[in-house]
Amino acid sequence: MSNQKYTREEALAFHLDPTPGKWEVTATVPMTTQRDLSLAYSPGVAVPCLEIAANPELAYDYTNKGNLVAVISNGTAVLGLGNLGALGSKPVMEGKSVLFKRFADVNSIDIELDTEDPDEFIKAVRLMGPTFGGINLEDIKAPECFIIEQTLKEQMDIPVFHDDQHGTAVICAAGLINALHISGKKIEEVKIVLNGAGAAGIACLELLKSMGAKHDNCIMCDTKGVIYQGRTEGMNQWKSAHAAMTDARTLEEAMKDCDVFLGVSAKGAVTQEMVISMAPNPVIFAMANPDPEITPEEAHAVREDAIVATGRSDYPNQVNNVLGFPYLFRGALDIHARAINDEMKIACAEALAALAREDVPDEVALAYGKNLSFGRDYIIPTPFDPRLIHRIPTAVARAGMDTGVARRPIIDMEAYELSLKSRMDPTASILRGINTRARAAQARMIFAEGDDPRVLRAAVMYQRAGLGQAVVVGRAPDVKAKLEAAGMGDAVEEIEVVNAGNTPHFETYKAFLYNRLQRKGFDRTDIHRLAARDRHVFAALMLAHGHGDGLITGATRKSAHVMELINHVFDADAEHGAAGVTALLHKGRIVLISDTLVHEWPDEDDLADIAERAADVARHLGLEPRVAFVSFSTFGYPVSERAEKMHLAPDVLDARGVDFEYEGEMTVDVALNAKAQDAYPFQRLSGPANILVVPARHSASISVKLMQEMAGATVIGPILAGVDQSIQICSTNSTANDILNMAVLAACKVG
């Protein structure tokens, strides 16, 4: 987005920590015993080798070929950066590989080939064919990309797809289907002008023509003007194929009375005068990156009836390739396709267009902080629509089967769609949704511990990510020195530094604090010392007086001590119903554990309060709460006095008539495992619990830290819930990213 900033150091740190690069390989089979090793390698591996040698199709059953795509480049046309060479392109290709995994659960490996010779490139890729289920070509300059892709398609029996060409074309086609639907026009009749005769532009026109656009209604332009029949200057066979019978010689002439403009060219290529000259209800896809040919504001200033799309996420209607390539390959891999053909690309475009015309799910509206509905500002689905994973691949797979490129057609499409729904990690969309809501909130966030480099880095990241204003409590010279030491000296001017010495509100803060603490043994000297010297107290006073929207603290002091200090200013204790809820994210699951912060030894009423606080947090995160009161016993056996309160807590919730699922007491395996729950048909949970209410704070702490250290779970929290203001307390071992996550939660007022 345009309002996001990052420094060179931040970008390098992201690619360096926690390990160099963006992905790693993990084993999917046990590798612990001698027997495991014998089966994985020698001698057991001989059995599938012989089976595959006899029947090559079995490679899809006994190896990872069926879910493995290679992202291959020679780095000759990298992301608007030009020819960086093979090695210089590797960070981009790694990034593409992780997008495959993130959006469609497709395993992907990046391969950089150190050659600009098309024949060498073709030979290398062709020889690697047995390894992969598909090939995604990336960032190869034109016209070599056309030669490479076409030759590999002819020589290989797996899908070969150059995303720079076809990915843009598919999303562009999806948007155009809906834009024409709104403007009441037919693709066979509209006049289309394309500016930019590179790989993406040519692919866009080819796909639209295969969908019904007429050849002579499509005018292609390059830097030398219109590509017309008879032109000789700056031509090649790919441009010549799209030369039109027209008298127009410039982009300006071509634009007159045209219905659709497609731009894959350069910033400012289109003027407002050109837009004025277009036909009624013009469609303008200004897809140049990072700056469009004309901005939506400029276009709408002269044509209110225009439908405008760009390649940018900070404008409506983003033409984003991530809506296409992951799902195209997902569908192609699942039918063991020999190719990705035009019919599959069109099916993808039509499915995307149809999705945008449907009601938008609540979680998408929640994530974007606004209601989205089909219309001029919403003709293309958002990349984080949870329906993409099960709607687009099914359409692609159907088209592949209908056109005969499927080696193994899918028999039960309904079961296939269900399997796709279960593939995706729900935590990623939850975190994305929270970030988007935080960006919409634009909260003024108080970071209490401005003496800690991690906190300062998180504060700068918060502001540069466009999430809101970062306010740091600390001494300006210290903050400046620490930021400079962290390589972020330029951020000194961006963030606001506040302390007792420079705030005009200090006397107001002291009066408020004295009023709260005068009957708790604090005199005016104590109050002055607390407010002036303790950053946790000072930051809490800022929040209490509306001088910030949220507070982040706890990175430098134990949470129990921080809670004690915050309670000088707020009622954030067990008596007032506060609770700590920690989110554990692991292997595509999210489970909340509570109370991890406030209650030392809760009774059944406290446990019911904790469950209600945790249910609030779950709903803020986009989860439907299912609470389990967990113990070492299940429904009264073995009998234990210590488990009695866990048995009674559901009765308290019964009496309160709460509106979420809950059950207990039960062991953790019964709470989290649907098969284990089958042994207790009377229990009330409709599926595995996503909230575990534990007997005491010590058991909560042990559970969280064990999952973090042994299983590598991502921990977010503890989230302080049940307090009037948005306060989040980090742990002392938090990284800058952890602190940033807590700030995002505070901005969304989670809890």
- Residues 131-146 have a mean pLDDT of 95
- Residues 472-486 have a mean pLDDT of 92
Binding-site annotation: residue ranges for a divalent metal cation: 138-139, 164, 289
Q: Is residue 455 classed exposed, middle or buried when 0-12, 13-18 and 19+ CB atoms within 10 A define those classes?
A: buried
For 338, the token pair is: 């020999």
State percent of the chain over pLDDT 90.
Answer: 76
Closest alpha carbon to 405 in 118, 733, 161: 161
Predicted confidence (pLDDT) per residue in 233-265, tens digit: 999 999 999 999 999 999 999 999 999 999 999
N-to-C CA span, the chain = 28
Instruction: Give CA separation, 310 vs 92, 261, 307, in Å.
Output: 21, 12, 10
DSSP 731: -
Indicate which residues carry an active-site annotation.
96
Q: Reply yes or no on whether the pLDDT at 3 is more than 80.
A: no
pLDDT-wise least confident of 272-281, 454-463, 537-546: 454-463
- Residues 562-579 have a mean pLDDT of 90
Which secondary structure element, helix H or strand E, spans residue 532, and what is its range? helix 524-533
- What is the pLDDT, as a whole number, of residue 1? 37
- What is the pLDDT, as a whole number, of residue 2? 41
- Residues 162-183 have a mean pLDDT of 95
Q: Reply yes or no on whether the pLDDT at 366 is more than 70.
A: no
d(CA 185, CA 177): 10
**3-state DSSP assignment of residue 46:** helix
- Greater model confidence, 289 or 5: 289
d(CA 134, CA 340): 9
Q: Reply yes or no on whether the pLDDT at 576 is more than 90.
A: no
For 485, the token pair is: 């030491």
DSSP one-letter string for 285-317: EE--SSS-SS-HHHHHHH-TT-EEEES-TTSSS
Query: pLDDT band for position 664 (50/70/90)?
Result: confident
Q: Reply yes or no on whether the pLDDT at 493 is more than 90.
A: no
- What is the pLDDT, as a whole number, of residue 425? 64
- What is the pLDDT, as a whole number, of residue 275? 97
Closest alpha carbon to 220 in 177, 262, 272: 262
Query: pLDDT band for position 210 (50/70/90)?
Result: very high
Q: Reply yes or no on whether the pLDDT at 83 is more than 60.
A: yes
Which residues, 6+ apart, have CB-to-CB distance to 597 below 8 Å? 559, 563, 579, 580, 697, 718, 720, 729
Angle, CA of 321, 322 and 325, to the nearest 5°: 80
CB 555 within 8 A of CB 742: no
**Average pLDDT along the chain:** 92
Closest alpha carbon to 627 in 646, 614, 617: 614
Which residues, 6+ apart, have CB-to-CB distance to 667 below 8 Å? 630, 631, 632, 633, 634
- What is the pLDDT, as a whole number, of residue 133? 97
Query: pLDDT band for position 361 (50/70/90)?
Result: confident
- Residues 701-712 have a mean pLDDT of 89
d(CA 369, CA 364): 8
Give the Cβ contact number of residue 452 at 10 Å. 21
d(CA 693, CA 689): 10
Q: Reply yes or no on whether the pLDDT at 330 is more than 70.
A: yes
Longest dimension (CA), the chain: 94
CB-hemisphere CA count at 13 Å for 633? 15
Q: Label residues 634-645 b or e (16+ Cβ within 10 Å = b).
A: beeeeeeeebbb
Q: Reply yes or no on whether the pLDDT at 219 is more than 70.
A: yes
Q: Reply yes or no on whether the pLDDT at 491 is more than 90.
A: no
Whole-model pTM over 0.85: no
How many contiguous H segments (helices) and E segments (strands) does the chain have?
Answer: 32, 21
Instruction: Specify the pairing of strand 260-263 against strand 470-473.
Output: unpaired
- What is the pLDDT, as a whole number, of residue 450? 93
For 685, the token pair is: 């949970």
Closest alpha carbon to 22 in 109, 131, 83, 87: 109
Cα dihedral across residues 374, 369, 383, 399: positive or negative: negative
- What is the pLDDT, as a whole number, of residue 362? 67
- Residues 199-226 have a mean pLDDT of 95
Structural domains present in the chain: 8-28+64-158 (3.40.50.10380), 185-321 (3.40.50.720), 437-568 (3.40.50.10950), 579-719 (3.40.50.10750)
Query: pLDDT band for position 192 (50/70/90)?
Result: very high
Angle, CA of 575, 577 and 583, to the nearest 5°: 130
- What is the pLDDT, as a whole number, of residue 368? 66
- Greater model confidence, 185 or 589: 185
Q: Reply yes or no on whether the pLDDT at 429 is more than 90.
A: no
